[in-house]
Chain A
Amino acid sequence: MDNKEKDFVLLKGNEVIAKAAIRYGYDGFFGYPITPQSEVLETLAADKPWETTGMVVLQAESELASINMLYGAGCTGKLVFTSSSSPGVALMQEGISYMSACEIPGVIVSVGRGGPGLGTIQPGQADYHQAVYGGGNGDYRTIVLAPNSVQEMGDCMGKAAKLTFKWRVPVIVLSDGMIGQMMEKVELPPFTPRRTEEEIGQQCPWATNGIGLKHRKYNFMSSLEFDPQTMEDRNQKMADKYRQIEAEEVDYELYKVNEDTEYLIVAYGISSRVSMKAVDLLCEAGVKIGMLRPKTLWPFPNKAISQLSERIKSILCVEQCEGQMINDVRLATEGQATVYHSGRSGGMVSSPTDVVEDFKRMARENLSKNWPKGYWMK
Chain B
Amino acid sequence: MTEEIIISGFGGQGVLSMGKILAYAGIMEDKQVSWMPAYGPEQRGGTANVTVIVSDDMISSPIVSHYDTAIVLNQPSLEKFEPQVKPGGTIIYDGHSIIQPPKRDDIYIYRIDAMEEAARTGNSKVFNMLVLGGFLKVRPIATVEDVVRGLHKALPERHHKLIPMNEEAIRRGMKIIRKMN
Direct touch of chains A and B (CB < 8 A): yes
- Indicate if the CB atoms of B39 and A280 lie closer than 8 Å: no
How many whole Å from A5's CB to the nearest CB in chain B?
10
The answer, among A3, A8, A9, A36, for a CB contact under 8 Å with B39, is: A36
B61 located at the interface, meaning its Cβ lies under 8 Å from any Cβ of chain A in the complex: yes
> How far does the alpha carbon of A270 sit from the alpha carbon of B154 in the complex, in Å?
26
- Indicate if the CB atoms of A184 and B33 lie closer than 8 Å: yes
> How far does the alpha carbon of A182 sit from the alpha carbon of B19 in the complex, in Å?
11
How many whole Å from A19's CB to the nearest CB in chain B?
15
- Indicate if the CB atoms of B153 and A273 lie closer than 8 Å: no
The answer, among A8, A181, A352, for a CB contact under 8 Å with B37, is: A181
Digitize B31-45: 1 where CB-to-A-CB distance is under 8 Å, 0 elsewhere.
011111101110000
Contact partners of A181 in chain B: CB under 8 A: 36-37, 39
- Indicate if the CB atoms of A183 and B20 lie closer than 8 Å: yes
Contact partners of A353 in chain B: CB under 8 A: 65
> How far does the alpha carbon of A4 sit from the alpha carbon of B29 in the complex, in Å?
8
Q: How large is the interface on A (under 10, 10 to 19, 20 to 34, 35 or more residues)?
A: 20 to 34
How many whole Å from B58's CB to the nearest CB in chain A?
9
How many whole Å from A272's CB to the nearest CB in chain B?
9
- Indicate if the CB atoms of A183 and B60 lie closer than 8 Å: no
> How far does the alpha carbon of A182 sit from the alpha carbon of B51 in the complex, in Å?
9
> How far does the alpha carbon of A270 sit from the alpha carbon of B153 in the complex, in Å?
27
The answer, among A122, A178, A273, A351, for a CB contact under 8 Å with B65, is: A351
Contact partners of B153 in chain A: CB under 8 A: 9-10
The answer, among B23, B33, B36, B60, for a CB contact under 8 Å with A178, is: B36
Known: A121-B39, A183-B23, A185-B27. A352 touches B61 (CB 8 A): yes
B157 located at the interface, meaning its Cβ lies under 8 Å from any Cβ of chain A in the complex: no
Known: A10-B23, A182-B36. A351 touches B61 (CB 8 A): yes
Known: A178-B36, A182-B35, A183-B34. A8 touches B27 (CB 8 A): yes
The answer, among A10, A276, A354, for a CB contact under 8 Å with B33, is: A10
Known: A121-B40, A183-B20. A178 touches B32 (CB 8 A): no
Known: A185-B33, A280-B60. A352 touches B27 (CB 8 A): no
B62 located at the interface, meaning its Cβ lies under 8 Å from any Cβ of chain A in the complex: yes
A163 located at the interface, meaning its Cβ lies under 8 Å from any Cβ of chain B in the complex: no
Q: Give the dominant DSSP class at B's interface.
A: mixed
Known: A10-B24, A121-B41. A182 touches B62 (CB 8 A): yes
Digitize A278-320: 1 where CB-to-B-CB distance is under 8 Å, 0 elsewhere.
1010000000000000000000000000000000000000000
A162 located at the interface, meaning its Cβ lies under 8 Å from any Cβ of chain B in the complex: no
Q: How large is the interface on B (under 10, 10 to 19, 20 to 34, 35 or more residues)?
A: 20 to 34
- Indicate if the CB atoms of A184 and B65 lie closer than 8 Å: no
CB within 8 Å of A: which of B115-142? none
Determine the residue in chain B with the shortest Cβ distance to A355.
B61
Known: A273-B61, A280-B60, A353-B65. A182 touches B27 (CB 8 A): no
B30 located at the interface, meaning its Cβ lies under 8 Å from any Cβ of chain A in the complex: yes
CB within 8 Å of A: which of B54-99? 59-65
Determine the residue in chain B with the shortest Cβ distance to A181.
B39
- Indicate if the CB atoms of A351 and B32 lie closer than 8 Å: no
Of listed B32, B41, B61, residue having the most chain A CB within 10 A: B61
Contact partners of A177 in chain B: CB under 8 A: 39
- Indicate if the CB atoms of A352 and B35 lie closer than 8 Å: no
Digitize B2-37: 1 where CB-to-A-CB distance is under 8 Å, 0 elsewhere.
000000000000000000100110011010111111
> How far does the alpha carbon of A231 sit from the alpha carbon of B74 in the complex, in Å?
64
- Indicate if the CB atoms of A277 and B20 lie closer than 8 Å: no
How many whole Å from A96's CB to the nearest CB in chain B?
27
Q: List 12 A-B contacts (CB under 8 A).
A: A10-B23, A10-B35, A10-B153, A122-B39, A177-B39, A181-B36, A181-B37, A182-B35, A183-B36, A184-B35, A185-B27, A274-B63
Q: A121-B39, A273-B62, A274-B60 are in contact. List 4 more A-B contacts (CB 8 A).
A: A178-B36, A182-B37, A276-B61, A351-B61
Minimum-distance CB pairs A-B, first 7: A276-B60, A183-B35, A277-B61, A277-B60, A351-B65, A182-B36, A274-B61
